[in-house]
Amino acid sequence: MTSYVERLAHRSREVGSYVCVGLDPPGDTPIGEVADRNRRLIAATAPYAACFKPNLAFYEQFGIPGLRALEETLQAIPDGIPVIADAKRGDMGNTAAAYARALFEVWGFDAATVNPFQGQDAVQPFLDYEDRGVYLLCRTSNPGSATIQNATLAAGEPLYERLAAEMPTWSANVGLVVGATAPAELARVRELAPRATLLVPGVGAQGGDPAEVVAATKAEYGLMVVNASRSIANAPDPGGAARELRDALNAPAP
Amino acid sequence: MTSYVERLAHRSREVGSYVCVGLDPPGDTPIGEVADRNRRLIAATAPYAACFKPNLAFYEQFGIPGLRALEETLQAIPDGIPVIADAKRGDMGNTAAAYARALFEVWGFDAATVNPFQGQDAVQPFLDYEDRGVYLLCRTSNPGSATIQNATLAAGEPLYERLAAEMPTWSANVGLVVGATAPAELARVRELAPRATLLVPGVGAQGGDPAEVVAATKAEYGLMVVNASRSIANAPDPGGAARELRDALNAPAP
């Protein structure tokens, strides 16, 4: 049984890439075109993709037909490229177990994003799938995330720092979601979680800088991917946009 | 346009009940029996139900056929009884908007549970549906929830207290999820959020005491419901179990 990080590292080395390609069909896409849009996007970007990441919200917004389109989308992803379910699920006990079953057994995802707000026992049913990756939200890139994630604890540190240090001790398959828009915080997370695999959204449409992300995360294949969704999918040439992001992430530090 | 709290209060008064009946089919239910199980459960418990609450995990664990069973389940709920999507979704920006569209427009739920870990702007797309209820997780009833929710802030209070005071200021349709298993914390939340509608899981299978919940929440129709799932659904007589819980919640304080 290979671990998720091993599979991701293998694929990343194969294509020399840290790029995670988001598969997020906009709400105004006619539902009959969603799967075709994704098939074209996958074909164009796969040569530069370390992994793919559909966000389930963009399929659920179409109801059950959207989930049929997700099925078709997953079938179009070539073998050997890990697929992350961006689902941000989180619940407790047998409910969390049902979500984990849905994502890892029914849908067959290699990894999933999970919300840690209910703590370790709520996350455990996901972690029990030892060959899957579990990316726990740590410090996200939106303004409001500061209310909870940056709340200053009695010991003086922000909550996300405690989470970055503690959550990877729960299991070897814990990864972290940390936004690209605050490079200093990204560097701090890397310092506290030196061997956790990181999923970094926030470059492209949200403005994070690829070179800063690489420096802050001490980038190493398998231990970091940078997600881009709209900036690739909406580019006139999505394959070219994915290649450019791959190259920007591989460029030597200035 | 009536608010969710007005609709819930109306229904609660009509049947004299604080009972929220969970519709959570176990994973070993043959998928062909899920909708029938729920139809029987709804028929037996509706006379005592202030609202119903399917947890989406228990449908998603069956894949797309599970969501078809959820469709059939929703069709079986009599008009005038509010239905809460226990979905604990949470994401940012246009992703949160897609989840809100799925729950409130595609599925047509009256209310939903939402995870506040990413803060106010991430919750806002749900709050924008002013006639729907948005129950934000505040202090859940599982052991691990203490790691984040009970983290002591620099100002000395636990995080959940700050959330209980702050989140209801975001919008009139904010409700809170607070577990029944820690009555002192439930009372503290009610003190900090005197007019927020509360969804209280944790009686029945998880051991919370109905009389303590009523006292701690200063129960008033529309501003509190107590969820029970397994303790009703697995009872030899689910209707009787729902009636007993209704009566226990209406009993005068000892």
* Tens digit of each residue's pLDDT (9 = 90 or more) over B65-85: 999 999 999 999 999 999 999
Q: What are phi and psi of B224, to 5 degrees?
A: -165, 135
d(C-alpha A158, C-alpha A140), whole Å: 13
Q: Is pLDDT above 70 for B231?
A: yes
Residues in chain B closer than 8 A to A162 (CB atoms): 151
Say if B55 is an interface residue toward chain A (CB within 8 Å): yes
DSSP-derived pairing of the beta strands B19-22 and B224-228:
parallel
Contact between A57 and B106 using a beta-carbon 8 Å cutoff = no
* 8 A C-beta contact, residue A85 and residue A132: no
Query: For tokens 């689902």, what's the residue?
Result: A87
Q: Point out the residues of B that are catalytic.
A: 88
Report the percentage of chain B scoring pLDDT > 70: 99
Contact between A88 and B92 using a beta-carbon 8 Å cutoff = no
Contact between B119 and A149 using a beta-carbon 8 Å cutoff = yes
Question: Which residue from B minimizes the CA distance to A202?
Answer: B92
Residue A254 CB contacts under 8 Å (≥ 6 apart), including other chains? A211
Q: Is pLDDT above 80 for B1?
A: no
Average pLDDT, chain A: 96
What's the CA angle centered on A231, arms A227 and A232, to 5 degrees? 75
* Tens digit of each residue's pLDDT (9 = 90 or more) over A176-214: 999 998 899 999 999 999 999 999 998 877 778 999 999
Residue ranges of the alpha helices (H) in chain A?
A: 4-15, 31-45, 57-60, 64-75, 93-100, 120-127, 146-149, 159-166, 183-192, 210-217, 230-233, 238-250
The pLDDT assigned to B36 comes to 98
* 8 A C-beta contact, residue B129 and residue B158: no
- Cα–Cα separations (whole angstroms), residue A237 to A41, A74, A245, B232: 10, 22, 12, 56
Say if B254 is an interface residue toward chain A (CB within 8 Å): no
* Tens digit of each residue's pLDDT (9 = 90 or more) over A30-63: 999 999 999 999 999 999 999 999 999 999 999 9
Residues in chain A: 254
Query: For tokens 């896409």, what's the residue?
Result: A29
Which residues 87-106 of A have a C-beta within 8 angstroms of B?
Answer: 88-99, 101-102, 106
Q: How far apart are the first and last CA of chain B?
A: 39
> Could you tell me the two tokens for B61?
């664990």
d(C-alpha B233, C-alpha B242), whole Å: 9
At residue B150 the predicted structure's pLDDT band, cuts being 50, 70 and 90, is very high
Query: For tokens 């922000």, what's the residue?
Result: A158
Facing residue for A91 by CB, picked from B57, B117, B118:
B57
> Could you tell me the two tokens for B72?
């059939």
Amino acid at residue number B241: A
Contact between A95 and B24 using a beta-carbon 8 Å cutoff = yes
Closest CA to B59 of B45, B44, B81, B74: B74
The gap from C-alpha B181 to its chain's centroid, in whole angstroms, comes to: 15
d(C-alpha A136, C-alpha A86), whole Å: 11
Confidence check on the interface: ipTM exceeds 0.85, yes or no:
yes
Average pLDDT over residues B216-245: 96
- Cα–Cα separations (whole angstroms), residue B221 to A12, B96, B199, B249: 56, 30, 12, 11
Average pLDDT, chain B: 96
DSSP state of B78: P
* 8 A C-beta contact, residue B104 and residue B129: yes
* 8 A C-beta contact, residue B249 and residue B210: yes
The pLDDT assigned to A254 comes to 60
A124: helix, strand or coil: helix
CA atoms within a 13 Å half-sphere pointing along the CA-CB vector of B158: 16
At residue B124 the predicted structure's pLDDT band, cuts being 50, 70 and 90, is very high
Amino acid at residue number B52: F
Residue A22, H or E segment: strand A19-23
